[in-house]
Amino acid sequence: MSSTTPNFAAGVAEGYDRLMFPIFFQPYAAEAAARLSGLRAGHLLETAAGTGAVTAALVAALPGTVAITATDLNQPMLDRAALRLPPGRVTLRQADAQQLPFPDDSFDALVCQFGLMFMDKPAALREAFRVLAPGAPLLLSVWSGLDRNPIPGILQQAVAEQFPDDPPLFMARTPHGHGDIPALTAAMESAGFAGIVAERVTLPCRAKSARHAAMAICQGTPLRAEIEARGTAGLDAVTAFAAQRLAQVLAGGAMDEPVEAPMEAILLTAAKPG
């Protein structure tokens, strides 16, 4: 396990699923599934499946002739995923993407949405290469920086302002700290992948309200633990301050009005030479 990998206990997994899923993950899940919809048979592997955003989209997009195995390091995340998936359609398995428990050349496609930033990239990419069959595609999604993602950027800045001597910087450091395209493509090349294409994809980021978005970032991610560990300001107070700042910027100060801004991720595609 990488030192950056968070531990999503059951309570965090529930909040992550309920709050983060519809705002940030579902739009890119649909995008990933659409890009893999040409797969009509074989066996697809998903790593860092989380609470099943991509998994559910794949089930909707792919025929039953494609077997789907979805893995995650954290069992509570898979437990949440199981609640939205049709029984028997997907094999859910706890597994470390850096040490996959599968034979060489055993999958016909592999997808990993917003998981690579939590891993030792060379190890995870070597494992992806190993378990893919020759000619099989790889699809990765990685967030761009906070400067290209206004909603989490505004919220991260507002939280940091509450702790000027020791700002909690989870969002800047981890989800949005690994969008270096040359570094990502070099790591994929080093693992053996060919035909690498990196594309910046912008989609709408919509939340029911500034309050809802602030809850998602401050209480539905490991940023919550960083806030609570500092102990100098209550979690609810920090969340409320961040929500107020977001409402001021995007909703004319209205805390319970919908907020929307662009969000950007990098989609990387490649293949194992066949």
Rounded Cα distance, 228 and 119, in Å: 24
Does the pLDDT value for residue 10 go beyond 70? Answer: no
Q: Which residue has 């919220």 as its token pair?
A: 155
Does the pLDDT value for residue 4 go beyond 60? Answer: no
Rounded Cα distance, 119 and 96, in Å: 9
Confirm whether 2 is domain-assigned. Answer: no
Confirm whether 1 is domain-assigned. Answer: no
| Token pair belonging to 103 | 């034979």
Confirm whether 5 is domain-assigned. Answer: no
Residue type (1 letter), 266? I
Confirm whether 251 is domain-assigned. Answer: yes
Query: Using one digit for the tens of pLDDT, what is the confidence trace for 247-261?
Result: 999 999 999 999 999
24 exposed, middle or buried (CB, 10 Å; 0-12, 13-18, 19+)? buried
- How does residue 169 score in pLDDT terms, banded at 50, 70 and 90? very high
Task: Give the structural domain span for 151.
Answer: 10-271
The pLDDT mean for the chain works out to: 94
Rounded Cα distance, 202 and 181, in Å: 15
Q: Report which of 172, 70, 179, 193 is spatially closest to residue 122, judged by C-alpha positions.
A: 193
Query: Using one digit for the tens of pLDDT, what is the confidence trace for 198-211?
Result: 999 999 999 999 99
Determine contact, residues 235/228, Cβ cutoff 8 Å: yes
Residue type (1 letter), 88? G
Query: Using one digit for the tens of pLDDT, what is the confidence trace for 60-117?
Result: 999 999 999 999 999 999 999 999 999 999 999 999 999 999 999 999 999 999 999 9
Question: Structure pTM?
Answer: 0.93
Residues 232-267 as b or e (16 or more Cβ within 10 Å = b): eeeeeebbbbbbbbbbebbbeeebeeebebebbbbb
Confirm whether 244 is domain-assigned. Answer: yes
Confirm whether 4 is domain-assigned. Answer: no
CATH number for the domain spanning 19: value is: 3.40.50.150
Confirm whether 153 is domain-assigned. Answer: yes
3-state secondary structure the chain: CCCCCCCCCHHHHHHHHHHHHHHHHHHHHHHHHHHCCCCCCEEEEECCCCCCHHHHHHHHHCCCCEEEEEEECCHHHHHHHHCCCCCCCEEEEECCCCCCCCCCCCECEEEEECCHHHCCHHHHHHHHHHHECCCCEEEEEEECCHHHCHHHHHHHHHHHHCCCCCCCCHHHHCCCCCCCHHHHHHHHHHHCCEEEEEEEEEEEEEECCHHHHHHHHHHCCCHHHHHHHHCCCCHHHHHHHHHHHHHHHHCCCCCCCCEEEEEEEEEEEEECCC
Does the pLDDT value for residue 11 go beyond 70? Answer: no
Q: Count up the domains in the chain and report the number.
A: 1
Confirm whether 266 is domain-assigned. Answer: yes
